[in-house]
């Protein structure tokens, strides 16, 4: 049973394309997040949703649009992909200060 699952695990795409990454958690957590890990392993928060409501929106280009259809899902859509978007994207969920991370989606823009 995967607690936080992301799909796809790997994504290779050309510049200018639009792509989506999906995330689902089966922990019953109220809060979900998207983090970006760059090539130097630095992890930075992008968005957070609590019960389908956006509560954190860091300085992220508006080409990135999160969507939460219900509290178990938080998807990330990226428009007009750029080379600099290449990174590993991690989904996470939390409840009562316990954070659980997905295994990551490695996005490569060529």
Partner 1 sequence: AQSVTQLDSQVPVFEEAPVELRCNYSSSVSVYLFWYVQYPNQGLQLLLKYLSGSTLVKGINGFEAEFNKSQTSFHLRKPSVHISDTAEYFCAVSERSSASKIIFGSGTRLSIRP
Instruction: Look up residue 7 and give its two tokens.
Output: 């799909």
How many residues of this chain bind partner 1 (CB under 8 A)? Answer: 26
Interface stretch with partner 1, choices 13-21, 62-70, 79-87, 93-101 (CB under 8 A): 93-101
At 102 the three-state DSSP class reads: coil
- List C-alpha distances in Å: 13 to 30, 55, 89, 110: 32, 30, 15, 6
Could you say which of 1, 39, 41, 83 contacts partner 1 (CB under 8 A)?
41
Nearer to partner 1, 31 or 75 (CB): 31
Task: Give CA–CA dist 108/110, Å, rounded.
Answer: 6
Paired sense of beta strands 87-95 and 19-25, if any: unpaired
Interface stretch with partner 1, choices 19-27, 33-41, 59-67, 75-83 (CB under 8 A): 33-41
Interface stretch with partner 1, choices 18-26, 60-68, 71-79, 89-97 (CB under 8 A): 89-97
Q: Which of residues 44-83 bind partner 1 (CB under 8 A)?
A: 44-45, 48, 50, 55-56
Please report, to the nearest 10 degrees, the dihedral formed by the alpha carbons of residues 43, 109, 61, 88 taken in order: -20
- Residue 7 binding partner 1, by CB under 8 A: no
Beta bridge partners of 36: 44, 89
With contact defined as beta carbons under 8 Å apart, do 21 and 11 qualify?
A: yes
Which parts of this chain interact with partner 1 (CB under 8 A)? 30-31, 33, 35, 40-45, 48, 50, 55-56, 90, 92, 94, 96-104
């Amino acid at each position: 049973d995967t607690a936080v699952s992301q799909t796809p695990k790997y994504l290779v795409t050309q510049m200018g394309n639009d792509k989506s990454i999906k995330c689902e958690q089966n922990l019953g957590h109220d809060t979900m997040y998207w983090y970006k890990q760059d090539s130097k392993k630095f992890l930075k928060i992008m968005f957070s949703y609590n019960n389908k409501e956006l509560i954190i929106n860091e300085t992220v280009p508006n080409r990135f649009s999160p969507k939460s259809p219900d509290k178990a899902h938080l998807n990330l859509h990226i428009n007009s992909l750029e080379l600099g978007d290449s990174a590993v994207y991690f989904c996470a969920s939390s409840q009562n200060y316990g954070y659980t991370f997905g295994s990551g989606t490695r996005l490569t823009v060529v």
